[in-house]
């Protein structure tokens, strides 16, 4: 079997992997074909995944590669496949690693290739949870789609073209559900969202925040079915999905079904070899795992969140980028006998759909107050929410903010100013954040 040796190996091909490569170059690591390698199951160089649920699906102003390779998502240089070659980074595509021996510093591919490394960065990300995993009746029908990689987005684009003005059922009311419902409506698809929770995006939204988005989506023609789940699917003679059976007995017509019910971190290769916690690979504040010379970044890492003195795993592109940069800085400083600051991350989430755009910073725990214009029929809605715990503001959400206003709410979440009266805070609204 062929054997190759490298100083640094990045396993994974998502956002974290691309940002790690850029950081190696920023740190002055003289990479060469014997130093840094990517092992990717994907067929393309790393790209900014958020584009897939937004502009990739738009009928106009459509995003396509090479337009959104990393690191354009953070305003950086676009790393085309040629960039890696110019920097002496070997980009090994379409390579599935089937065995990892962390103690022996060895990886084995499905083709039997052996990769030796000195330092490993695990950037394998997450995979989508599929209804077929649970044996849902008919879940293997054609046009039951998921969205994680560019191949998934291409299948969805084709389905939209084939089922012009057709009916779509979106299973799930989280990020993917909300963004894809909007994208499909823009394509003149009749959309119904189905989710079991009492309101959309319950992990972040309060009932008050969710009421705005549900009203706004309804005004855009999106039908919402809450409090039930899809329990089966009926297909036609061609094997294409035609109906979605709900637990409450209802049956919905569907030419396209898109499922967005979450993901799970891809850590199977490393089970029993590294310490794990909260569903991810446990790391320190430099993303070093319990195994020497092995780092884990992005979705797979469970790390110390300094701001809240807590251990967490975060699935978001912002953390994927920043954790990768932190790990590479730590690797370089360790080699030079230097130290760097611990990872001091401020949780950040955002979304864009229709004409809406929201940002959230901090922690959504404690009491919440709602402020501003949250009328779904308003021509220019602008509203937000503060979360208050132990007399301090710990989280802020804002819909329709300007760049300066979004910076202001980020500062509030970081500073955690004291609040004595929630009624006064509600009345002050956004002005409270802007004066901190």
Q: Is residue 348 part of a domain?
A: no
- Answer for the pair 177, 185: CB distance below 8 angstroms, yes or no: no
Note whether residue 345 is domain-resident.
no
Which residue, chain included where needed, has tokens 């290739």? 113
pLDDT at res. 34: 46
Residues 174 and 215 in one domain: yes
What six digits make up the tokens of 30? 């003289």
* 414 plus 430 within the same structural domain: yes
Query: What CATH number is associated with residue 373?
Result: 3.30.390.30
SS (HEC) of 23-37: HHHHCCCCCCCCCEE
Q: Is residue 347 part of a domain?
A: no
Residue 343 is assigned to a structural domain of this protein: no
Q: Give the tokens for residue 303.
A: 């790390």
Regions in the chain scoring below 50 on pLDDT: 32-34
Q: 261, 279, 307 — which closes off a domain?
A: 261
Whether residue 372 sits in one domain with residue 315: no
Are residues 388 and 307 part of one domain? Answer: no
Residues 6+ apart with CB under 8 A from 309: none
Residues 146 and 242 in one domain: yes
Angle in degrees, 0-180, between the axes of helices 175-186 and 207-219, rounded to the nearest 10? 20
DSSP result, 224-254: EEES--EEEEEE-TTSBEEEEEETTS-EEE-
Question: Residue 30 has what pLDDT?
Answer: 64
**Are residues 66 and 136 located together in one domain of the fold?**
no
Give the domain-ending residue among 261, 296, 315: 261
* Residues 254 and 269 reside in one and the same domain: no
153 lies in some domain: yes
- Domain annotation covers residue 344: no
| 172 close to 259: Cβ distance less than 8 angstroms | yes
Report the pLDDT value the prediction gives residue 41, as an integer from 0 to 100: 60
Phi, psi dihedral angles at 148 (to 5 degrees): -140, -45
Q: Residue 31 has what pLDDT?
A: 53
Report how many domains make up the chain: 3
Whether 276 and 288 map to the same domain: the answer is: yes
Q: Do 302 and 157 sit in the same domain of this protein?
A: no
Whether 115 is in a domain gets the answer: yes
Dihedral Cα 284, 286, 291, 294, nearest 10 deg: 150
Domain boundary among 231, 261, 291: 261
Q: Indicate if 269 and 323 belong to the same structural domain.
A: yes
Q: Which domain holds residue 425?
A: 355-434
Task: Please tell me whether residues 242 and 165 are part of one structural domain.
Answer: yes
Q: Residue 33: what pLDDT?
A: 44
Assigned token pair, 348: 């950040």
Q: What's the pTM? A: 0.95
Co-location of 119 and 139 in the same domain:
no
At residue 376, the pLDDT reads 97
* E strands, 175-239, in order: 190-195, 223-226, 230-235
* Separation between Cα atoms, residue 110 and residue 370, nearest integer Å: 53
CATH number, position 119: 3.50.50.60
Q: Is residue 100 part of a domain?
A: yes
Peptide bond into 71 cis (omega under 30): yes
């Amino acid at each position: 079997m062929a054997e190759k040796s490298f100083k640094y190996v990045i396993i994974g091909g998502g956002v974290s992997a691309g940002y790690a490569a850029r950081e190696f170059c920023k740190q002055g690591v003289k990479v060469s074909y014997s130093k840094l390698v990517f092992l990717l199951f994907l067929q393309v160089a790393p790209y900014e995944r958020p584009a897939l649920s937004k502009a990739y699906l738009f009928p106009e102003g459509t995003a396509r590669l090479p337009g959104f390779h990393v690191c354009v998502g953070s305003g950086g240089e676009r790393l085309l496949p040629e960039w890696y070659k110019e920097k002496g980074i070997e980009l090994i595509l379409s390579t599935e690693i089937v065995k990892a021996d962390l103690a022996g510093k060895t990886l084995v591919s499905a083709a039997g290739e052996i990769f030796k490394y000195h330092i490993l960065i695990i950037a394998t990300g997450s995979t989508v949870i599929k209804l077929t995993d649970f044996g849902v009746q008919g879940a293997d029908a054609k046009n039951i789609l998921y969205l994680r990689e560019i191949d998934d987005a291409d299948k969805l684009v084709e389905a939209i073209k084939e089922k012009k003005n057709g009916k779509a059922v979106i299973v799930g009311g989280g990020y993917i559900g909300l963004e894809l419902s909007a994208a499909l409506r823009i394509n003149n698809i009749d959309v119904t969202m189905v989710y079991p929770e009492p309101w959309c995006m319950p992990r972040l939204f309060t009932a008050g925040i969710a009421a705005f988005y549900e009203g706004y989506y309804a005004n855009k023609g999106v039908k919402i079915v809450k409090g039930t789940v899809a329990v089966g699917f009926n297909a036609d003679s061609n094997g294409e999905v035609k109906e979605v059976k709900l637990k409450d007995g209802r049956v919905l017509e569907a030419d396209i079904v898109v499922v967005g019910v979450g993901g799970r971190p891809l850590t199977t290769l490393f089970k029993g070899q590294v310490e794990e916690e909260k569903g991810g690979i446990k790391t320190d504040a430099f993303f070093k795992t319990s195994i020497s010379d092995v780092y884990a970044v992005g979705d797979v890492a469970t790390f110390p969140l300094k701001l809240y003195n807590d251990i967490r795993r975060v699935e978001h592109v912002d953390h994927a980028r920043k954790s990768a940069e932190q790990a590479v800085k730590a690797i370089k400083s360790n080699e030079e006998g230097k130290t760097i600051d611990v990872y001091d991350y401020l949780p950040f989430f955002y979304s864009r759909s229709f004409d809406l755009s929201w940002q959230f910073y901090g922690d959504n725990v404690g009491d919440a107050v709602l402020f501003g214009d949250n009328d779904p029929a308003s021509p220019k809605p602008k509203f937000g929410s503060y979360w208050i715990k132990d007399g301090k503001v710990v989280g802020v959400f804002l819909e329709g903010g300007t760049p300066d206003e979004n910076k202001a709410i980020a500062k509030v979440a970081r500073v955690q100013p004291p609040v004595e009266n929630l009624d006064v805070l509600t009345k002050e609204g956004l002005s409270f954040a802007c004066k901190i």
